[in-house]
Structure 1
């Protein structure tokens, strides 16, 4: 029976500091992947090609990561197959990737030859206006995210002062000892950076199906202020890596380079998943799972004096995040309009031929 799996992740997102991306991890020469960089116009078939490659790899019995667009989770940005050592990606803005060693390392798949540029001239100004407006919307999104992140950082700073960090460290180390027996050979594990969650035009989205597909053994961390879970997960990640286990570190979109939100250890079928509020992820995860409550590490009496400030920050941040979603919807509308203008000028038969050739080259 095939053990192929379809795993869904994000690898980029709008963030408080701008557009955050891990795509460079896939194109690095030491990544273990042969990168295929697809270049083309909006609506020009890039996501369709990615879907075809991913489906073909799964049909061939391989586990594949389907990397979704954070703004539009129904669209793909990349497909990654570690077993085949390939990473195929949309290499256009905002997750722009250009080849450093073309042919020797990266393979560029250009769809630009499938565009009838003359057919676009009557709608040129409309295309420019829509794409520029979408870019401006994404910039506004980042401002809302930055404001929300600032308020939530204030909450974390308060909670941090009333956290028993030595107790947290001792507990994390005990969990690590329970699960991460050192593997023979002395090889350190490999860290993969992904996101399971994002905030896009359809609101917050988390790919809990990926957790279910990989990890029957789940810890659910209840952390109302995202102050305890990132530190706990960091200790576990470093312990697992030192013991020789590969890990998938899933970062929080509002702090995409330094705050862990979830941790997966696929070899052990083990996941550590955090949630900010009760019944957000817990309704979607398979039972039984083990609970870890952050309040066990907190001085709740000390925090009581700050209850109004903590509550205000959360409510204000929630409103700011809702505005970010509205602006992402505006961006999506502009992007969709640009795609509609491009499509009549695309030779989709030529795109299909390129797709078929790429599938054959990767899966043959």
Structure 2
């Protein structure tokens, strides 16, 4: 199957481990024709620039990936023009991306050329104070997400007590039989990103759009601790051994966990209806609890309910702090917007378009 002509993802996330990046999977050095690492301050038009680039090449019929910023889901961290193997990445903090193979694949795009540095120097003290507030607010949010993860671990351990290993293995084998009927040569590549993120607008997910048009959808229903990530890993490794490319969409709180798995060449995806995104899908459903010990689930019901309440309270507080950080960040952007020369920025845009069009 072919992807939709417009895809939306998160290359990084605000997690229990702080900011977590899958930036290297936006466009690999091996596959990329040109990767521009955009450097520039808040308010220097980086996201607007990437949206313009995406719209320009979308109008020509190319598939565009919009990689959104988890700290402002209406802004972009990257844009990819799939067929031309071109990308622009926000290379500023917290991503801190620099060219790996300068000139051969990637290069720096300096939006600072459009800034009035003298005007910014006059506001040096205020800018530094606002940046400190932003950092402290994010640190607090990450502490709440880390606390939520601890409670989540307890919730998971309670559910894990009910697992019947043999029955869970049956689910895995059943999925393999339904998914894999053919085999390619070689070993399939993998890609790791987020479909869901903790943002200033709450928990935002692009999962439904990402799997639009997939013919085969398998849904794993069940809370934390029921072994869904292990099922994903086994299905993913089987797909790769059979030569298929796999996209792993990771959990926004605990990035080691997998939320969804996509095998586009087979028009197949395995999805979760989980405790974070709470997204419902249509397809063949596996209720994991049906394969577990019902008496243990019943015995732990009250403790699980208590963990669940504390978990969502902590997540809500973390999200409110992400929102506060975004509000403060808006204050920071005002300093830079007033120092921006948009004529210079437009000239940079025109040069990038010409550079990219050489690959058509």
Check the 8 A contact 2:111/2:345 in 1, yes or no: yes
Residue 275, structure 1, aligned to residue 273, structure 2? yes
Check the 8 A contact 1:241/1:247 in 2, yes or no: yes
1:105-138 superposed Cα distances (whole Å, 9 cap, x missing partner): 3211011111101112332222111122111111
Check the 8 A contact 2:157/2:225 in 1, yes or no: no
Q: CA deviation at 1:245?
A: 1.3
Give the corresponding residue for 1:79. 79
Cα distance 1:226–1:32, how it changes in 2: closer, same or farther (>3 A)? farther
* Structure 1 segment 14-163 matched on structure 2, within 5 A: 14-26=14-26, 29-30=29-30, 32=32, 34-163=34-163
1:176-220 superposed Cα distances (whole Å, 9 cap, x missing partner): 232223433x22111111111111111111113433435243222
Aligned length: 357
Q: CA deviation at 1:265?
A: 1.4
* Greater shift in the superposed pair: 11-20 or 265-274: 265-274
TM-score by length of 2: 0.93
Q: CA deviation at 1:27?
A: 6.6
Check the 8 A contact 2:226/2:289 in 1, yes or no: no
* Partner Cα separation in structure 1 for residue 44 and residue 125 of structure 2: 18
2:300 to 270, 293, 306: 306
Give the corresponding residue for 1:341. 335
Check the 8 A contact 1:264/1:270 in 2, yes or no: yes
Runs of 4 or more consecutive aligned structure 1 residues displaced over 6 Å after TM superposition: none
1:42-73 superposed Cα distances (whole Å, 9 cap, x missing partner): 01011011112222232222222110011211
Check the 8 A contact 2:211/2:269 in 1, yes or no: no
Cα distance 1:133–1:214, how it changes in 2: closer, same or farther (>3 A)? farther
Instruction: List gaps (5 residues or longer) in structure 2.
Output: none
The RMSD of aligned alpha carbons is: 2.1
Instruction: List gaps (5 residues or longer) in structure 1.
Output: none
Give the corresponding residue for 2:216. 217
* Greater shift in the superposed pair: 221-230 or 317-326: 221-230
Give the corresponding residue for 1:242. 241
* Partner Cα separation in structure 2 for residue 300 and residue 161 of structure 1: 11
1:357 to 337, 342, 351: 351
* Partner Cα separation in structure 1 for residue 308 and residue 74 of structure 2: 29
Give the corresponding residue for 1:179. 179
Residue 165, structure 1, aligned to residue 159, structure 2? no
1:265-301 superposed Cα distances (whole Å, 9 cap, x missing partner): 122222222122599312xx4x4x2211111221120
User: Helix, strand or coil: the match of 2:72?
Assistant: coil
